[in-house]
Protein backbone atom coordinates (compact mmCIF):
# COMPACT_ATOMS: atom_id res chain seq x y z
CA UNK A 1 0.00 0.00 0.00
CA UNK A 2 1.41 3.42 -0.96
CA UNK A 3 1.81 6.16 1.59
CA UNK A 4 -1.33 7.88 0.28
CA UNK A 5 -3.59 4.89 -0.16
CA UNK A 6 -6.47 4.28 2.22
CA UNK A 7 -7.95 0.84 2.89
CA UNK A 8 -10.58 -0.31 0.44
CA UNK A 9 -14.14 0.75 1.26
CA UNK A 10 -16.31 -2.36 1.72
CA UNK A 11 -19.52 -2.13 -0.28
CA UNK A 12 -21.51 -2.85 2.89
CA UNK A 13 -20.27 0.44 4.35
CA UNK A 14 -21.08 2.55 1.31
CA UNK A 15 -24.18 4.16 2.78
CA UNK A 16 -22.21 5.28 5.83
CA UNK A 17 -19.77 7.29 3.74
CA UNK A 18 -21.09 10.82 3.63
CA UNK A 19 -18.82 13.83 3.24
CA UNK A 20 -19.09 17.57 3.23
CA UNK A 21 -16.84 17.65 0.15
CA UNK A 22 -15.55 15.05 -2.26
CA UNK A 23 -12.80 15.97 -4.70
CA UNK A 24 -12.62 13.73 -7.76
CA UNK A 25 -9.01 13.39 -8.93
CA UNK A 26 -5.80 13.12 -6.96
CA UNK A 27 -3.58 15.22 -9.19
CA UNK A 28 -1.86 18.35 -7.95
CA UNK A 29 -4.88 20.61 -8.59
CA UNK A 30 -7.36 18.26 -6.91
CA UNK A 31 -5.09 17.85 -3.90
CA UNK A 32 -4.57 21.61 -3.65
CA UNK A 33 -8.36 22.12 -3.72
CA UNK A 34 -8.96 19.57 -0.95
CA UNK A 35 -6.19 21.11 1.13
CA UNK A 36 -7.66 24.60 0.67
CA UNK A 37 -11.10 23.34 1.70
CA UNK A 38 -9.71 21.97 4.95
CA UNK A 39 -7.78 25.18 5.63
CA UNK A 40 -11.02 27.12 5.24
CA UNK A 41 -13.23 24.70 7.17
CA UNK A 42 -11.13 22.42 9.41
CA UNK A 43 -14.19 20.67 10.87
CA UNK A 44 -15.53 19.60 7.51
CA UNK A 45 -15.28 16.00 6.31
CA UNK A 46 -13.30 15.97 3.05
CA UNK A 47 -12.18 13.12 0.79
CA UNK A 48 -10.16 12.89 -2.41
CA UNK A 49 -11.10 9.95 -4.66
CA UNK A 50 -8.43 8.87 -7.17
CA UNK A 51 -8.69 6.03 -9.68
CA UNK A 52 -4.96 5.17 -9.69
CA UNK A 53 -3.26 3.34 -6.85
CA UNK A 54 -1.29 6.45 -5.95
CA UNK A 55 -1.69 10.19 -6.34
CA UNK A 56 -0.40 12.40 -9.16
CA UNK A 57 0.22 9.64 -11.69
CA UNK A 58 -0.56 11.54 -14.89
CA UNK A 59 -0.05 15.21 -15.80
CA UNK A 60 1.20 16.08 -12.31
CA UNK A 61 4.21 13.79 -12.64
CA UNK A 62 4.68 13.55 -16.43
CA UNK A 63 6.21 16.99 -16.95
CA UNK A 64 9.56 18.75 -16.90
CA UNK A 65 8.92 20.49 -13.58
CA UNK A 66 9.16 24.10 -14.76
CA UNK A 67 8.11 26.65 -12.15
CA UNK A 68 6.62 29.25 -14.50
CA UNK A 69 6.84 32.96 -13.77
CA UNK A 70 3.86 34.07 -15.90
CA UNK A 71 5.37 35.49 -19.11
CA UNK A 72 3.19 33.92 -21.78
CA UNK A 73 -0.36 34.52 -20.68
CA UNK A 74 -2.81 37.11 -21.94
CA UNK A 75 -2.97 39.95 -19.40
CA UNK A 76 -6.15 39.74 -17.35
CA UNK A 77 -6.65 36.02 -17.98
CA UNK A 78 -6.88 33.55 -15.12
CA UNK A 79 -3.51 32.13 -16.13
CA UNK A 80 -1.91 35.57 -15.96
CA UNK A 81 -3.56 36.47 -12.66
CA UNK A 82 -2.82 33.18 -10.93
CA UNK A 83 0.61 32.25 -12.24
CA UNK A 84 2.78 34.99 -10.76
CA UNK A 85 1.02 34.86 -7.39
CA UNK A 86 0.92 31.07 -7.52
CA UNK A 87 4.63 30.78 -8.21
CA UNK A 88 5.48 32.99 -5.21
CA UNK A 89 3.08 31.08 -2.95
CA UNK A 90 4.55 27.78 -4.12
CA UNK A 91 8.12 28.93 -3.43
CA UNK A 92 7.11 29.92 0.09
CA UNK A 93 5.39 26.54 0.51
CA UNK A 94 8.50 24.70 -0.67
CA UNK A 95 10.59 26.68 1.79
CA UNK A 96 8.22 25.70 4.61
CA UNK A 97 8.24 22.03 3.63
CA UNK A 98 11.92 21.74 2.72
CA UNK A 99 11.14 20.84 -0.90
CA UNK A 100 14.11 21.48 -3.17
CA UNK A 101 13.70 23.90 -6.06
CA UNK A 102 16.10 25.95 -8.19
CA UNK A 103 15.55 29.40 -9.67
CA UNK A 104 17.81 28.61 -12.62
CA UNK A 105 16.26 31.16 -14.96
CA UNK A 106 14.87 30.99 -18.49
CA UNK A 107 15.99 32.42 -21.83
CA UNK A 108 13.37 32.84 -24.57
CA UNK A 109 15.57 33.14 -27.64
CA UNK A 110 14.97 34.86 -30.98
CA UNK A 111 17.13 33.40 -33.74
CA UNK A 112 16.62 36.07 -36.41
CA UNK A 113 14.95 39.40 -37.16
CA UNK A 114 11.65 37.78 -38.12
CA UNK A 115 11.08 36.65 -34.52
CA UNK A 116 11.75 40.02 -32.88
CA UNK A 117 8.19 41.44 -33.10
CA UNK A 118 6.80 38.34 -31.37
CA UNK A 119 9.58 38.51 -28.77
CA UNK A 120 8.76 42.17 -28.10
CA UNK A 121 5.06 41.33 -27.72
CA UNK A 122 5.94 38.55 -25.30
CA UNK A 123 8.13 40.89 -23.27
CA UNK A 124 5.25 43.38 -23.03
CA UNK A 125 3.00 40.57 -21.79
CA UNK A 126 5.54 39.65 -19.15
CA UNK A 127 5.82 43.25 -17.96
CA UNK A 128 2.03 43.59 -17.87
CA UNK A 129 1.86 40.38 -15.83
CA UNK A 130 4.46 41.78 -13.38
CA UNK A 131 6.95 38.97 -13.92
CA UNK A 132 9.83 39.70 -11.53
CA UNK A 133 13.29 40.55 -12.88
CA UNK A 134 12.37 40.36 -16.57
CA UNK A 135 14.85 41.90 -19.01
CA UNK A 136 15.67 41.91 -22.71
CA UNK A 137 19.23 40.82 -23.48
CA UNK A 138 21.51 40.71 -26.52
CA UNK A 139 23.98 38.13 -27.89
CA UNK A 140 26.74 38.85 -25.36
CA UNK A 141 24.44 38.36 -22.37
CA UNK A 142 22.93 35.25 -23.98
CA UNK A 143 26.44 33.82 -24.23
CA UNK A 144 27.11 34.63 -20.57
CA UNK A 145 23.94 32.90 -19.40
CA UNK A 146 23.98 29.94 -21.82
CA UNK A 147 27.38 29.71 -23.56
CA UNK A 148 26.31 27.00 -26.03
CA UNK A 149 23.17 28.81 -27.20
CA UNK A 150 22.95 31.10 -30.23
CA UNK A 151 20.47 33.94 -30.74
CA UNK A 152 20.27 37.63 -31.61
CA UNK A 153 18.07 38.66 -28.69
CA UNK A 154 16.32 36.99 -25.77
CA UNK A 155 14.03 37.55 -22.83
CA UNK A 156 15.78 36.64 -19.59
CA UNK A 157 13.53 35.57 -16.72
CA UNK A 158 15.81 34.95 -13.73
CA UNK A 159 12.93 33.98 -11.42
CA UNK A 160 11.71 31.05 -13.53
CA UNK A 161 12.69 27.80 -11.86
CA UNK A 162 12.42 24.05 -11.63
CA UNK A 163 10.93 21.74 -9.01
CA UNK A 164 9.55 18.21 -8.71
CA UNK A 165 5.78 18.66 -8.72
CA UNK A 166 5.28 15.10 -7.50
CA UNK A 167 7.06 16.14 -4.28
CA UNK A 168 4.66 19.07 -3.90
CA UNK A 169 1.66 16.81 -4.56
CA UNK A 170 2.84 14.43 -1.84
CA UNK A 171 3.25 17.35 0.54
CA UNK A 172 -0.32 18.48 -0.21
CA UNK A 173 -1.50 14.92 0.48
CA UNK A 174 0.34 14.97 3.80
CA UNK A 175 -1.37 18.22 4.74
CA UNK A 176 -4.78 16.75 3.87
CA UNK A 177 -4.22 13.69 6.05
CA UNK A 178 -2.84 15.75 8.93
CA UNK A 179 -5.99 17.90 8.89
CA UNK A 180 -8.24 14.82 9.00
CA UNK A 181 -9.04 14.48 5.31
CA UNK A 182 -9.07 11.18 3.43
CA UNK A 183 -7.30 10.19 0.23
CA UNK A 184 -8.91 7.14 -1.29
CA UNK A 185 -6.86 5.66 -4.13
CA UNK A 186 -7.65 2.79 -6.46
CA UNK A 187 -11.30 3.89 -6.69
CA UNK A 188 -12.70 5.22 -9.97
CA UNK A 189 -15.59 7.66 -10.09
CA UNK A 190 -17.93 6.54 -12.85
CA UNK A 191 -20.50 9.30 -12.58
CA UNK A 192 -22.28 11.89 -10.44
CA UNK A 193 -25.95 12.58 -9.75
CA UNK A 194 -27.52 15.43 -7.85
CA UNK A 195 -30.27 14.99 -5.30
CA UNK A 196 -32.15 17.30 -2.97
CA UNK A 197 -29.52 17.42 -0.24
CA UNK A 198 -26.31 16.91 -2.17
CA UNK A 199 -24.52 14.75 -4.70
CA UNK A 200 -24.30 10.98 -5.18
CA UNK A 201 -20.90 9.75 -6.36
CA UNK A 202 -20.85 6.42 -8.21
CA UNK A 203 -17.57 4.66 -7.39
CA UNK A 204 -16.00 1.51 -8.81
CA UNK A 205 -13.05 -0.35 -7.34
CA UNK A 206 -11.51 -2.28 -10.27
CA UNK A 207 -9.36 -4.55 -8.09
CA UNK A 208 -12.34 -6.07 -6.28
CA UNK A 209 -15.08 -5.30 -8.79
CA UNK A 210 -17.11 -3.59 -6.06
CA UNK A 211 -19.34 -0.71 -7.08
CA UNK A 212 -21.03 1.51 -4.56
CA UNK A 213 -21.99 5.12 -3.85
CA UNK A 214 -20.65 7.91 -1.70
CA UNK A 215 -22.51 11.12 -0.98
CA UNK A 216 -21.43 14.68 -0.36
CA UNK A 217 -22.88 18.13 0.11
CA UNK A 218 -20.51 19.40 -2.58
CA UNK A 219 -18.25 17.84 -5.21
CA UNK A 220 -15.28 19.30 -7.05
CA UNK A 221 -14.00 17.40 -10.08
CA UNK A 222 -10.37 17.74 -11.13
CA UNK A 223 -10.24 14.74 -13.43
CA UNK A 224 -7.60 16.00 -15.87
CA UNK A 225 -7.49 13.75 -18.92
CA UNK A 226 -11.04 12.56 -18.17
CA UNK A 227 -12.50 15.88 -17.00
CA UNK A 228 -15.03 16.25 -19.82
CA UNK A 229 -16.44 12.77 -19.27
CA UNK A 230 -16.98 13.33 -15.55
CA UNK A 231 -18.46 16.77 -16.18
CA UNK A 232 -20.94 15.55 -18.79
CA UNK A 233 -22.32 12.99 -16.34
CA UNK A 234 -24.06 15.94 -14.65
CA UNK A 235 -24.14 18.64 -17.30
CA UNK A 236 -24.74 17.62 -20.92
CA UNK A 237 -24.60 21.28 -21.99
CA UNK A 238 -20.82 21.30 -21.54
CA UNK A 239 -19.54 21.29 -25.10
CA UNK A 240 -15.77 21.33 -24.70
CA UNK A 241 -13.96 18.05 -25.19
CA UNK A 242 -10.58 16.85 -24.05
CA UNK A 243 -8.20 16.09 -26.92
CA UNK A 244 -5.02 14.41 -25.64
CA UNK A 245 -1.69 15.63 -26.99
CA UNK A 246 1.40 13.56 -26.29
CA UNK A 247 4.70 15.34 -25.73
CA UNK A 248 7.91 13.34 -26.17
CA UNK A 249 11.25 14.39 -24.76
CA UNK A 250 14.81 13.55 -25.70
CA UNK A 251 17.36 13.40 -22.88
CA UNK A 252 20.88 14.77 -23.18
CA UNK A 253 23.57 12.20 -22.49
CA UNK A 254 25.58 12.86 -19.30
CA UNK A 255 28.66 14.13 -21.13
CA UNK A 256 26.76 17.06 -22.70
CA UNK A 257 24.47 18.06 -19.83
CA UNK A 258 26.90 20.83 -18.87
CA UNK A 259 25.87 22.64 -22.06
CA UNK A 260 22.57 23.75 -20.48
CA UNK A 261 22.56 25.81 -17.28
CA UNK A 262 18.83 26.44 -16.95
CA UNK A 263 15.94 26.72 -19.40
CA UNK A 264 16.23 27.60 -23.11
CA UNK A 265 12.95 28.27 -24.94
CA UNK A 266 12.00 29.31 -28.48
CA UNK A 267 9.79 32.28 -29.28
CA UNK A 268 6.33 30.66 -29.26
CA UNK A 269 3.44 31.05 -31.64
CA UNK A 270 0.88 32.56 -29.27
CA UNK A 271 -1.99 31.16 -31.34
CA UNK A 272 -1.24 27.85 -29.63
CA UNK A 273 -1.02 26.85 -25.96
CA UNK A 274 2.14 24.82 -26.72
CA UNK A 275 5.53 26.47 -26.22
CA UNK A 276 7.65 24.52 -28.69
CA UNK A 277 10.67 22.27 -28.19
CA UNK A 278 12.87 23.67 -25.44
CA UNK A 279 15.84 22.58 -23.35
CA UNK A 280 15.16 22.08 -19.66
CA UNK A 281 17.43 21.22 -16.78
CA UNK A 282 15.40 19.14 -14.32
CA UNK A 283 15.85 18.48 -10.62
CA UNK A 284 18.56 15.85 -10.28
CA UNK A 285 20.75 17.24 -13.07
CA UNK A 286 19.28 15.67 -16.20
CA UNK A 287 18.61 17.82 -19.26
CA UNK A 288 15.57 17.21 -21.46
CA UNK A 289 14.72 18.59 -24.88
CA UNK A 290 11.03 18.86 -25.70
CA UNK A 291 8.21 18.33 -25.61
CA UNK A 292 6.70 18.30 -29.05
CA UNK A 293 2.90 18.12 -29.38
CA UNK A 294 1.29 15.28 -31.34
CA UNK A 295 -2.18 13.80 -31.16
CA UNK A 296 -2.22 10.90 -28.68
CA UNK A 297 -4.33 7.89 -29.64
CA UNK A 298 -5.23 7.29 -25.99
CA UNK A 299 -5.91 9.68 -23.13
CA UNK A 300 -3.24 7.90 -21.14
CA UNK A 301 -1.14 7.03 -24.20
CA UNK A 302 2.44 7.70 -23.20
CA UNK A 303 3.90 5.65 -26.04
CA UNK A 304 3.50 6.11 -29.79
CA UNK A 305 1.79 2.74 -30.15
CA UNK A 306 -0.68 3.18 -27.29
CA UNK A 307 -4.20 3.12 -28.76
CA UNK A 308 -7.54 3.23 -26.95
CA UNK A 309 -10.37 2.84 -29.43
CA UNK A 310 -12.91 4.63 -27.22
CA UNK A 311 -10.60 7.60 -26.72
CA UNK A 312 -9.63 7.77 -30.37
CA UNK A 313 -13.22 7.40 -31.51
CA UNK A 314 -14.34 10.32 -29.38
CA UNK A 315 -11.63 12.52 -30.88
CA UNK A 316 -12.35 11.70 -34.51
CA UNK A 317 -16.09 11.87 -33.89
CA UNK A 318 -15.83 15.42 -32.54
CA UNK A 319 -16.43 18.15 -35.09
CA UNK A 320 -14.22 20.58 -33.19
CA UNK A 321 -11.22 18.35 -33.80
CA UNK A 322 -11.71 18.40 -37.57
CA UNK A 323 -12.17 22.18 -37.57
CA UNK A 324 -8.89 22.55 -35.71
CA UNK A 325 -7.15 20.02 -37.97
CA UNK A 326 -8.32 21.78 -41.13
CA UNK A 327 -6.60 24.97 -39.95
CA UNK A 328 -3.38 23.53 -38.58
CA UNK A 329 -2.81 20.26 -40.42
CA UNK A 330 0.56 21.38 -41.80
CA UNK A 331 1.86 22.11 -38.32
CA UNK A 332 0.43 18.81 -37.10
CA UNK A 333 2.15 16.85 -39.85
CA UNK A 334 5.46 18.57 -39.10
CA UNK A 335 5.12 17.67 -35.41
CA UNK A 336 4.39 14.05 -36.33
CA UNK A 337 7.40 13.94 -38.67
CA UNK A 338 9.73 15.27 -35.97
CA UNK A 339 8.25 12.80 -33.51
CA UNK A 340 9.10 9.78 -35.64
CA UNK A 341 12.38 11.00 -37.19
CA UNK A 342 15.07 11.64 -34.60
CA UNK A 343 17.25 13.64 -36.98
CA UNK A 344 14.40 16.09 -37.55
CA UNK A 345 13.88 16.49 -33.80
CA UNK A 346 17.61 17.04 -33.25
CA UNK A 347 17.65 19.60 -36.07
CA UNK A 348 15.14 21.63 -34.05
CA UNK A 349 17.48 21.50 -31.03
CA UNK A 350 20.44 22.49 -33.22
CA UNK A 351 18.74 25.74 -34.23
CA UNK A 352 19.52 26.93 -30.69
CA UNK A 353 22.46 24.69 -29.80
CA UNK A 354 24.45 24.00 -33.01
CA UNK A 355 27.03 21.80 -31.26
CA UNK A 356 24.51 19.11 -30.29
CA UNK A 357 24.56 15.99 -32.48
CA UNK A 358 22.28 12.99 -32.91
CA UNK A 359 24.63 10.96 -30.74
CA UNK A 360 24.29 13.43 -27.86
CA UNK A 361 20.61 12.70 -27.16
CA UNK A 362 18.57 9.61 -26.40
CA UNK A 363 14.87 8.88 -26.03
CA UNK A 364 13.50 10.36 -22.82
CA UNK A 365 10.14 10.43 -21.02
CA UNK A 366 6.74 11.40 -22.39
CA UNK A 367 3.66 13.14 -21.08
CA UNK A 368 0.08 13.63 -22.23
CA UNK A 369 -1.59 17.04 -22.03
CA UNK A 370 -5.35 17.24 -21.50
CA UNK A 371 -6.22 20.00 -23.95
CA UNK A 372 -9.80 21.28 -23.92
CA UNK A 373 -11.14 21.99 -27.39
CA UNK A 374 -14.28 23.97 -28.23
CA UNK A 375 -16.77 22.82 -30.92
CA UNK A 376 -15.50 25.70 -33.08
CA UNK A 377 -12.07 24.06 -33.21
CA UNK A 378 -10.50 26.65 -30.93
CA UNK A 379 -8.16 25.37 -28.26
CA UNK A 380 -9.21 26.63 -24.84
CA UNK A 381 -6.19 28.62 -23.71
CA UNK A 382 -7.22 29.69 -20.22
CA UNK A 383 -8.15 27.79 -17.10
CA UNK A 384 -11.82 26.85 -17.35
CA UNK A 385 -14.28 25.96 -14.59
CA UNK A 386 -18.03 25.46 -14.32
CA UNK A 387 -20.12 25.40 -11.15
CA UNK A 388 -23.78 25.10 -10.19
CA UNK A 389 -23.08 25.60 -6.49
CA UNK A 390 -23.08 21.90 -5.62
CA UNK A 391 -20.77 20.50 -8.29
CA UNK A 392 -17.76 22.41 -9.57
CA UNK A 393 -15.96 21.05 -12.62
CA UNK A 394 -12.41 21.99 -13.55
CA UNK A 395 -12.63 21.60 -17.32
CA UNK A 396 -9.22 22.88 -18.43
CA UNK A 397 -6.15 23.10 -16.22
CA UNK A 398 -3.01 22.72 -18.35
CA UNK A 399 0.34 24.37 -17.68
CA UNK A 400 0.91 26.49 -15.61
CA UNK A 401 -1.65 24.74 -13.39
CA UNK A 402 1.00 23.05 -11.27
CA UNK A 403 2.91 26.31 -10.72
CA UNK A 404 -0.39 28.04 -9.93
CA UNK A 405 -1.98 25.23 -7.93
CA UNK A 406 -2.26 27.02 -4.59
CA UNK A 407 -3.97 30.00 -6.22
CA UNK A 408 -6.15 27.89 -8.53
CA UNK A 409 -7.38 26.09 -5.42
CA UNK A 410 -8.61 29.37 -3.97
CA UNK A 411 -10.53 30.21 -7.15
CA UNK A 412 -12.06 26.73 -7.29
CA UNK A 413 -13.24 26.95 -3.70
CA UNK A 414 -14.61 30.46 -4.28
CA UNK A 415 -16.54 29.20 -7.33
CA UNK A 416 -17.86 26.30 -5.26
CA UNK A 417 -19.11 28.73 -2.62
CA UNK A 418 -16.99 26.94 -0.05
CA UNK A 419 -16.37 29.37 2.78
CA UNK A 420 -14.66 28.99 6.06
CATH of the domain at 293: 3.30.9
Average pLDDT, the chain: 92
Query: Where does the pLDDT of residue 23 fall: very low under 50, low under 70, confident under 90, or very high at 90 and above?
Result: very high
In the structure, what pLDDT confidence band is assigned to residue 334 with cuts at 50, 70 and 90?
A: confident
Specify whether 248 is located in the same domain as 339. Answer: yes
389 and 370 in one domain?
A: no
Of 163-167, 222-226, 271-275, 402-406, which gets the smallest average pLDDT? 271-275
Mean pLDDT of 252-263: 98
- pLDDT tens digits, 190-231: 999 998 889 999 999 988 888 889 999 999 999 999 999 999
What mean pLDDT is predicted for residues 64-84?
A: 94
Q: 312 and 358: one domain?
A: yes
For residues 90-105, give the mean pLDDT: 98
Same domain assignment for residues 258 and 207: no
Which structural domain, as residue segments, surrounds residue 294?
241-379
Looking at the structure, tell me whether residues 299 and 410 fall in a common domain: no
The predicted model gives 71-81 an average pLDDT of: 94
Same domain, residue pair 328 and 253: yes
Please tell me whether residues 297 and 348 are part of one structural domain.
yes
Work out the percent of the chain whose per-residue pLDDT is above 90. 84
- State residue 236's pLDDT score: 87
pLDDT (0 to 100) of residue 340: 87
Q: In total, how many domains does the chain have?
A: 2
Q: Which of 124, 101, 150 is nearest to 264 (CA)?
A: 150
Query: What per-residue confidence (pLDDT) applies to 419?
Result: 66
Q: Tell me whether residue 102 is in a domain.
A: no
Judgement on whether residues 223 and 254 belong to the same structural domain of the protein = no
Mean pLDDT of 299-308: 95
- pLDDT value at position 331? 82
Residues 221 and 324 in one domain: no
Amino acid sequence: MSQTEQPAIPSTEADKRHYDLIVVGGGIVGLAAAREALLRSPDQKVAVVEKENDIAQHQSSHNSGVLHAGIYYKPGSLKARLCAAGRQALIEYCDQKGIHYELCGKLIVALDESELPALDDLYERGIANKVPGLEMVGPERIAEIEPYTRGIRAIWSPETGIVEFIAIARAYAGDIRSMGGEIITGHQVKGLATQADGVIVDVHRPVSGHRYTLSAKKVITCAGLHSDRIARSTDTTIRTRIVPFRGDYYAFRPEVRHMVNGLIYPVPDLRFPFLGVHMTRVIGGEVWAGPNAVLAFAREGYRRWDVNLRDLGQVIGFGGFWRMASQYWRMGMLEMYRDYVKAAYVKEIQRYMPEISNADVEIGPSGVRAQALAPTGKMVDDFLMSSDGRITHVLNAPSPAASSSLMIAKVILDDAGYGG
